[in-house]
A = this chain, B = another copy of it.
């Protein structure tokens, strides 16, 4: 049972130092503190446990240290920044675990870019030594990359030449799409096990600059100084306490039937309406706590419950309370804390979009699929809403752009690609809809009446959980992301799919595969058929 909750004083592998507007995140992986047996985390290589700490640190900087303008990502190990994902961990992991590991590390790197893009924090990768594989992929998720010139240190993506797999954490995509490295140079770089050093790495656009060892700290400090001046947000932040037992989210596992009921409870009692009151409540404020619990539940489902193939999403609570929370969020969205809360909700919802489980939204009387919680329904593969029941769904301004999908569209836009005018209809003067209206507008999939309700849902669950889980994953990944593509969707859709394929291939994971044989006296042998 893997637990995704951690705090800085529990970190084994990272040191987070805050000094005014500067945060320094230093990697110092303890090789024996692994999440599983059978490997050692040498040379700042990482496993899921290391990345959980990184994800936590980034989240914490945003909420606890809002004044931070620059985050320097570096290492405390001499001559090595980070050697990437631990190869023996990968070699000994199940396919399902490898895929989930890569997805989580991708989400962590996208969270860095989300912070940079939406909260204006600059991430500086200070490569005091070699950054290879996932180490360089971490660097390339930062805004700027500086490499020490010690005659030895390089950046590299040795996965293809050494392991027969892809750099699976967005490296290939970011090379050509983010840093816009020329494709032929990207090809050379990605097949060159030893990578490139200072001057050529800069010329090819792989790093922003390089400094000799004696000037490295000075160079980084000077750049940090330049970047730090722009920040206007002042603290104090709010503390993110460990989640403990969920307050607003209930996860009921029906393991024998391979599905789960995931219920999100709306806010209860009076809700704050001013920034001061929100700040006072801190991490117990409903939209923050409920979505942190949702996020945690999704990670738990992915990694600890692989056989659960379907999640029935339900909501319970007062429609008015959810809508009034939305009103407060929208009214105060320019304040840093409210902005961070909204951005966190958006990330949790994207985590759902990217989860390889089917989702059915179930709308009954007493449910509150409205405003921000309506996104759960729109993110689901299908929805069922009881006819003539008094159940209602409703939109708020939160559905109009605050919570975008990875493809940059709102979930309403994604839904109505054929009839964009319908999005305006939904936001027309009538913003709340009973079952008949919701069906007419195309907001829900099915609207069974009382007589059919239980049977229809039971049969739908049975049918869905009887299908091939692999085919469903590929199908959902294709149908959920219609319309435009972004770097994020390219990473999750295209790169991940290729990596999943390669992770299945004998050339990587068979007895003679490159991943299997890495570091062993035996040699990899390939079936050279190209497909």
Interface residues of A (CB under 8 A from B): 94-96, 99-100, 159-161, 163-166, 172-173, 175-177, 179-188, 190-191, 205, 258, 306-309, 356-357, 380-383, 414-418, 442, 444-445, 463-465, 467-480, 482-485, 490, 493-495, 497-502, 504-505, 507-508, 514, 524, 526-531
Residues of B within 8 A of A476 (CB): 187
Chain B residue at minimal CB-CB distance from A499: B474
Most buried by B among A416, A472, A479, A490: A479
Q: Is the pair B498, A474 in contact by a Cβ cutoff of 8 Å? A: yes
Chain B residue at minimal CB-CB distance from A411: B183
Q: Is the pair B183, A414 in contact by a Cβ cutoff of 8 Å? A: yes
Chain B residue at minimal CB-CB distance from A444: B184
User: A468-B508, A471-B502, A474-B502 provided; 5 other pairs, C-beta below 8 A?
Assistant: A164-B468, A173-B478, A176-B417, A182-B418, A470-B507
- Complex Cα distance A122/B186, Å? 41
Q: Is the pair A477, B494 in contact by a Cβ cutoff of 8 Å? A: yes
Q: Is the pair B469, A357 in contact by a Cβ cutoff of 8 Å? A: no
- This chain's copy number in the assembly: 2
- Complex Cα distance A416/B445, Å? 45
Q: Is the pair B356, A307 in contact by a Cβ cutoff of 8 Å? A: no
- Complex Cα distance A177/B418, Å? 9
Task: Pick from B163, B187, B191, B467: contact of A191, CB below 8 A.
Answer: B467
Chain B residue at minimal CB-CB distance from A306: B529
Residues of B within 8 A of A471 (CB): 159-160, 163-166, 502, 507-508, 514
Residues of B within 8 A of A507 (CB): 468-471
Cross-chain pairs A/B with CB under 8 angstroms, 17 sampled: A96-B531, A165-B468, A172-B478, A175-B479, A180-B482, A183-B414, A184-B382, A187-B445, A307-B529, A307-B530, A309-B528, A468-B524, A470-B507, A474-B495, A478-B495, A484-B485, A494-B494
Task: Pick from B357, B501, B530: contact of A501, CB below 8 A.
Answer: B501
Contact A474:B309 (CB < 8 A) given known A467-B191, A494-B494 = no
